[in-house]
Amino acid sequence: MPYIKLHINGLTHHDIAARREAFVQTAVGRRMVLRAAPCRESERAVAAYVGADMVGYVARLDLDVAWSAMKGMGTKVLRGEIESAKAYSLVFYCEVDCVDERTTAATALPEGWQYTGPMMPELELWHRLDYLGGEMEMMLAEERVDVVGFMELFEAFRKLAPYDVSSEMMMCRRRLLYRLEDSFEPKLLDAADALEELSQRMGGDHGMAALGRWMKHELPASKEAQAMRSWVVSPTTRTEIMMAAASLPSGLMMEWQTDEVEFARLLYGMHLSRERVHQVLSCLVWLDNNVGPLDTQVLEGGQNRVQAALEALDELVQQLKPIFWGDEAAALEFLRAVRKARPKQITTTVNEWVAAKRISPQSCHRDLWKVLNEAGIYTPSESNWNQQVR
């Protein structure tokens, strides 16, 4: 059965404010009721009740999910329990019988989805974000906050945060927002507004376009992605990698190749863990760097067509392997370099590889031309090839 988790804040301002610490200690597992609250027409609010006490409101970042669940169930009341409790916020857990489309937009990976291929090293960008988020949370927990030091970290965090779509980073932003909203320091309240604006911008068209560009163009060229270029995997593993990519939900692999903005939007809405995001991106980046894009018709044909395309690729690699002194990694590297190149660029590459003794000089003419010609990579005639290849 589908479920939702919502964050409740405002504990310091409502019925339990004077006994908040005692309440939090015994809150986990207690029954909680959420009700749509009366408010101005330009706002939406959902109040949280435990027994006779109104303890707070659903956090603004969770309002869409709360209202979508209510709309899907045809009610203005949600009943569940408190899953976890901290000094300034609670987490409400509730199973739902029926949800609105906006609630189900956060698709999950298929049950049992596995990726066993090469992984990029941990992204330096994500590592830095973890540091910044952890340090800011520690500073906000102190009795007297170093506002100048916090704002220095916050500005760096705000620039990098849009490039981490993991559920852990989403929760980090929420925790920071809840703490900042409870502050009385003007600069920290301004930071809360900026953080909320950042979350809204990330989900908008501009944010998705920036995220899509980064994932599709900058990430594959990063040092972390380049580290995977030298990783040779067996044909069996390549098949496993392609099958994992082909089974991603909502045509994620096709969007990766055809519409980077829509890809970013889908991945952002899936609320995946950092580990899963890392696996998905490693899978797709490795394929880009080592296999290249597949035809849209192949992707639309499902896993059988995808597997057939990969088997054809493996057959091509095996045909090229003897020409490259039996080095499969070199054959893959060459194939990656010439698959989208123009004829003149291909022959230039061949000459460079022959000079570097990476291609057998006895096989660089008819043998190599025939393989590339039959694969549709080099279409001009053999005589043209022989004129260009020394």
Where b means 16+ CB within 10 Å and e means fewer, 267-281 reads bbbbbbebebbbbbb
Distances (CA, A) of 109 to 65, 115, 240, 256: 19, 11, 16, 16
Q: Domains of the chain: which residue ranges?
A: 3-104, 107-293, 320-388
Query: 48, 94 in Cβ contact below 8 A?
Result: no
> E strand or H helix at 13, and its extent?
none
* pLDDT for residue 108: 58
Residue 184's contacts (CB-CB under 8 Å, 6 or more residues apart) are none
Cα Rg, the chain, nearest whole Å: 27
Helix runs in the chain, H state only? 20-25, 63-73, 101-104, 124-141, 147-160, 167-181, 186-202, 205-213, 223-226, 235-246, 252-258, 260-269, 274-290, 296-300, 303-320, 328-338, 343-355, 366-374, 382-388
Splitting the chain (390 residues) into consecutive groups of 10 residues, what average pLDDT does each group show?
78 88 91 78 74 85 79 80 85 68 47 81 88 92 90 92 87 85 87 83 79 88 78 70 75 80 81 87 83 62 63 81 86 80 91 91 91 90 90
Q: Residues 281-299: pLDDT tens digits?
A: 998 888 777 766 666 556 6
Distances (CA, A) of 66 to 26, 55, 81, 174, 296: 24, 17, 14, 16, 37
Residue 332: Cβ within 10 Å count: 24
> E strand or H helix at 3, and its extent?
strand 3-9
**Where on the phi/psi map is residue 312: left (φ > 0), alpha (ψ -120 to 50), or beta?**
alpha
The pTM for the full model equals 0.61
Q: How far apart are the first and last CA of the chain?
A: 67
CA angle at residue 196 from 195 to 200, to 5 degrees? 115
* Nearest of 346, 353, 352 to residue 378 by alpha carbon: 346
> E strand or H helix at 94, and its extent?
strand 90-95
Residue 130's contacts (CB-CB under 8 Å, 6 or more residues apart) are none
The Cα–Cα gap between 208 and 200 comes to 11
**Where on the phi/psi map is residue 231: left (φ > 0), alpha (ψ -120 to 50), or beta?**
beta
Report which DSSP code applies to 108. -
* Nearest of 35, 18, 24, 22 to residue 75 by alpha carbon: 35
Give how far the C-alpha of residue 296 lies from the chain's centroid of Cα atoms, to the nearest Å.
22
Query: 265, 304 in Cβ contact below 8 A?
Result: no
**CATH classification of 3-104 is 3.40.50.150, yes or no?**
no
The Cα–Cα gap between 260 and 2 comes to 29
* pLDDT for residue 42: 44
